[in-house]
Structure 1
Amino acid sequence: MTISSGRSRIRSTVIAVTVSALAVVGAAAVISTSTTAGAAVAGVEDEGADCAVNVPSSTTSNAKLPDPFKRIDGTRISTRSDWRCRREEIKKLAERFVYGTKPAKPASVTGTVSSTNITVNVSDQGRSASFSASVSLPGGTGPFPAVFVVGGLGADTATIRAAGVAVINYDPLAVGKEGTGRTNKQGAFYSIYGATSGTGILAAWAWGVSRIIDVIEQSGGSIIKADGLGVTGCSRYGKGAFAIGAFDQRIALTMPIESGSGGVPAMRSIATESGAQPLSSAYSEQPWLGDAFSSFTGNPNALPIDQHSLVAMVAPRGLLIMENPSIAWLGAKSGSVSALAGAEVYKALGVGDAITYWSAVSDGNHCAVRSEWRDPLQKFLKRFLLKTGNDAGVFRIASNAQGSLSQWVDWTTPTLSGSTSGPATSNPPTSSAPTSSVPTSSVPTSSLPTSSVPTSSGPTGSTGACSATYRTVNSWQGGFQGEVTVKAGSAAINGWTVRWTLASGQTIAQLWSGTLTTSGSAVTVKNATWNGSLGASATTTFGFIGNGTASTPTLTCTSP
């Protein structure tokens, strides 16, 4: 999903998610219950794997968000311990109807962890695959907690490292490649499970992070702490971060940013939200979602779950959802609906303050580093990864992107008996909502085109070592997203550099999966630490958000 940058005039609002539940949604208050440092992180990827789940072969229509507390058999859970198997039901339903199956740990997972790199080798069903991720450690003495940054685009890595948390740069495209057909999926996941697998690449990306965690666990924790892991990503990588955190209970803190359709926003609400990316568009833009989701792109009411159920799957672990209300395409209103509904499960489990939702921001640019998010990011890093804080989460919903939970919910939140990771408390956080308007410029609210638009290939570097091909992934008034595919020649390369000249009026706002330098209109992009080594004829990609009008540049590619 790609969208425009822009700003709108917004006023922030703190939305209530109270213990007495749904009747008071919309009041000015904050979430409160448990204020223990951190929340329960399972020692396994899926603690409910032993629960018996009979997934129905057909579904019934329901215009409301399905009750997350109601089992498949129609009964409702009554204790907090019941949540383990109810969560497993939601997981299986999400795999069957939305994401495709995320397989359990393969027969063999091996690898290494160093201060600069993590390698992963996987073997299963007579097939094998390998991939890696680079590591950037903070100052000080380890071992360190760490945050997976999906695709190099997510929460502010400077803030993360300054907090004493390492960054693991995860290349999801090595595990599940974009730009492929549904019958020719590529990447490490599909090397193991087949190119025609019905599993979408979001679940494949989640599988890849789980395998990296396997290796971190095996390493003994001398460099990276296996019990202090977080994940973040923005835009399509925000969709990935959300899936990663939902499906692996070893992730202590999940931080999706501007994830849009197929991410946090409730699908039933997306279908009614003006300007939001249609589900059919999200399904067809890339094979992000599982093949089975094709039956629901025009009929989300038939889904037995919705994305609020995925929010609930993260509970009782930390969840920081960051959204942009200035770009209609992102469906932030539907995101607030999903977060509010999922927060009801957090409350029922006694950890209602382990979730933060923040869309009250002044900078409308897509995937920008925002000052408003720095404080909640620092607080949740301390609480869930460093385990040195107990700050409670808050909901800060922009008034121009505020959903109504009562419109979408016809169930009540039960009082679940039993205990969770810590004692409940009624003490609310003390921060208050800002009350002043944030002056910004207007933003287009019309739907934006999402189909990939191939353009011409760039020339091969003078040595013949590599070539670079450009395409415009998406464009809108005043901006565009470009993608460059780098391909090694007939011999392997170790490092690459792509150069081109910007057209008049163009600038590059953000770039991922590469290292950018500019001098006037001259652009130079060198490989990131994890995608510079390519075998003969192998490819990698980097992408960027540009300001101005899209055009087809002449590219050159060279390798040392």
Structure 2
Amino acid sequence: MITKLGRSRTRVTVVVLAVTALTLTASWLVAPADTARATARLAAVSPVEDEGADCPTPDPGSTTANSRLPDPFRKPDGSRITTKADWRCQRAATKQLAQRYVYGDKPAKPQTVSGTVSNTSITVNVAHNGRSASFSASVQLPSSGTAPYPAVVVLGGFGADTATIRAAGAAVISYDPLAVGREGTPRNNKQGAFYTIYGSSSSSGLLVAWAWGVSRIIDVIEQSGGGILRADATGVTGCSRYGKGAFVTGAFDQRIALTMPIESGSAGSPIFRGIPGESGSQPLSSAYGEQPWLGDAFGSYTGNPANLPVDTHQTVAMVAPRGLFIMDNPHIDWLAARSSSVAALAGAEVYRALGAGDNITYWSDVQDGTHCAARSEWRTPLQQHIQKFLHRTGSSAGVFRISSRKAGSLPEWRDWQTPVLADSPTTPAPTTPAPTTPAPTTPPPPTTPPPTTPAPTTPPPSTPPPSGACTASVSVDQWTGGFVATVRVTAGPAPVNGWTVAMTLPSGVSVTNAWNTQRSGSSGAVTFSNVTYNGSISAGGSTEFGFQGTGTAGTLSPTCTAG
């Protein structure tokens, strides 16, 4: 992995990989020949959903509270793994802990999975123990290349920029996870294709259900004969709650070559232990109660995450050594980007031990604070990751670009050291050999439209604001029972020194959290005013704040007053 210092126009980005106690060794920066060969073997996508299904996974028994991150290299018997081959069963033990305490069980492949793959759609039919369910996904083929194509599954139409994905020669599979695990349902009456098969009272959360649906899509692609899509070159992405889903999906299916969660927030990549101490982040109790994303068992740990025998850095490690590109937004406190950077830093230690440090990237150094925006900073690395992990013709190194706004420090969170794992003759060979000559990365397209979002947004006004005034526009990310609103305040031809935005919320809507603003009121007529660092706006310039609410936002009409 290569670490870089990202520099923005307003703040200097700090890469927190070597703060006093954390030292990068030469093997981390430049892989010798034998390590490179081991990396090539390990990076191969698996032909099976779970390589460690045959590993013994003993019951962990009682656990001891630990405010530090659990040691990802420590086996259930207390010893530590010593070879790279040991990781197969260590991952299986980690998976058992993650299912038992955090996400709920992800069942193995059902008794019958069938379906079809065409140039425009995928159908999935599942039958198990006398129950059956069906769902489908749409397909957009890439704008270049020839079949069979690699593909990226986009959860909810809301993830990495689809125009860039297709321009890089990969198909886009638009998957509606709500058809498999519906939001807005109580925990004892969950709905969707997954719960039709396994019961509405299943203790497994929606994130596992959504991941199960992607696995069934891959099953159908495998059975299709590979004339249109390649089953061994599948990526997954999603943003916000769908970022949570993409994160879990990539961790739980080893056939996925590239995992790309975006701004996943609490219940996504941020470490559970860090969230209570990260100001403004969504509390664990809120994430658990907002939707049944996490497994039912996690409810016992929302107030005491230190009692968990597992944390999300180990979910990161479950993806290793496959491709992982975590994208975060440091401008919205609610998203807990600092805790997410710690998860990535700690999980990267497993990548490093496996000789696959170049296969993980974390990037939160971005200018635009809009939730789930299509960002220019991510366009080139997105193309490079598709080339490397889906086409297998690229050789770009992983990078960590951590914003100084939300920079986590790994030494504060770990009391374990990364072992040197020996190579082993039992290390599995790749299903597809790594290429010897990397091909150049496809240049980025000249323009990139924003991704399709699941809810309509209100565009900024087309007419310029009057002199000495300000205007406000709002975009809304709506889901069943809640939403996040991003409000942009724009100055007219004259500078603005202080601003207030007022709006009337519909009946039944209540604000639960806000960032980059001072709020007055939580329902009905509410006002938002600047904080010290964003009150001054240059002529024609803009700033943004956001808030989260419950209910259906509908069409919001903000008004801005300067001064």
- TM-score, normalised by the number of residues in structure 1: 0.74
Asked if 1 retains the 8 angstrom alpha-carbon contact of 2:301 and 2:308, the reply is: yes
Distance 1:544 1:382 in 2: 40
Q: 1:42 aligns with which of 38, 46, 57?
A: 46
What's the counterpart of residue 240 of structure 2?
235
- Residue of structure 1 equivalent to 2:390: 385
1:93-492 equivalence runs, <5 A: 93-139=97-143, 140-418=145-423, 452=481
The equivalent residue for 1:86 is 90
Q: Which AA in structure 1 matches 2:332?
A: I
Q: 1:180 & 1:22 partners in 2: Cα distance?
A: 46
Residue identity matched to 2:347:
G
The gaps in structure 2 that reach 5 residues or longer are 1-7, 435-478, 484-505, 517-526, 528-551
Matched residue of 2:230: which SS?
strand
Alignment check: 8 A CA contact 1:51 1:85 kept: yes
Q: Which amino acid aligns with 1:373?
A: W
Amino acid at match of 2:393: T
Structure 1: 5+ residue stretches without partners: 1-6, 425-449, 455-468, 480-504, 506-542, 551-560
Give the letter aligned to residue 317 of structure 2: A
Rate the CA distance shift 1:475–1:292 in 2: closer, same or farther, 3 A: closer
Mapped partners of 1:546, 1:81: distance in 2? 55
Q: 1:124 and 1:472, CA in 2 relative to 1: closer, same or farther beyond 3 A?
A: farther
User: Which string of whole-angstrom CA distances, capped at 9 and with x for unpartnered residues, describes residues 354-385 of structure 1?
Assistant: 00000000000000000111111111110000
Distance 2:415 2:110 in 1: 41
Deviation at 1:271, TM superposition (A): 1.6
Say whether the 8 Å CA contact 2:122–2:139 is kept in structure 1: yes
Q: Higher relative CO (CA 8 A, sep ≥ 6), structure 1 or 2?
A: 1
Counterpart of 1:23 in structure 2 is 22
Supply the distance in 1 between the matched residues of 2:507 and 2:147 (Cα, whole angstroms): 41
Structure 1 residue 31 displacement after superposition: 5.3
Please tell me the root mean square deviation across aligned C-alpha atoms, in Å: 3.3
Which SS does the other structure have where 1:214 is aligned? helix
Checking the alignment, whether the CA contact within 8 Å between 1:8 and 1:326 is kept in structure 2 is no
Counterpart Cα distance in 2 of 1:114 and 1:200: 31
**How far apart, CA to CA, are the structure 1 residues paired with 2:418 and 2:52?**
22
CA–CA separation in structure 2 for the residues paired with 1:362 and 1:77:
41
Return the alpha-carbon distance in structure 1 between the equivalents of residues 50 and 69 of structure 2. Answer: 24
Quote the offset at 1:336 in angstroms.
0.5
Aligned partner of 1:525 in structure 2 is: none
Map of 2:63 onto structure 1? 59
Residue 16 of structure 1: how far off its partner (Å): 3.1
Distance 1:399 1:478 in 2: 17
- Partner deviation per Cα, 1:218-242 (whole Å, 9 max, x = no partner): 0111100011100000000000000
Is residue 13 from structure 1 mapped to residue 14 from structure 2 by the alignment?
Answer: yes
Deviation at 1:394, TM superposition (A): 0.4
The 1:476–1:62 alpha-carbon spacing in structure 2 relative to 1, beyond 3 Å, is closer
- Partner of 2:189, secondary structure, is coil
Residue range with higher mean Cα deviation, 41-50 or 131-140: 131-140
State the alpha-carbon separation in 1 of the partners of residues 242 and 554 from structure 2.
14
Q: Distance in 2 between matches of 1:230 and 1:161?
A: 12
User: Which of 69, 73, 92 matches 1:69?
Assistant: 73
Aligned partner letter, 1:107: Q
% identity of equivalent residues = 63
Alpha-carbon contact 1:116-1:134 (below 8 Å) kept: yes
Task: Please tell me the residue identity of whatever aligns with 1:301.
Answer: A
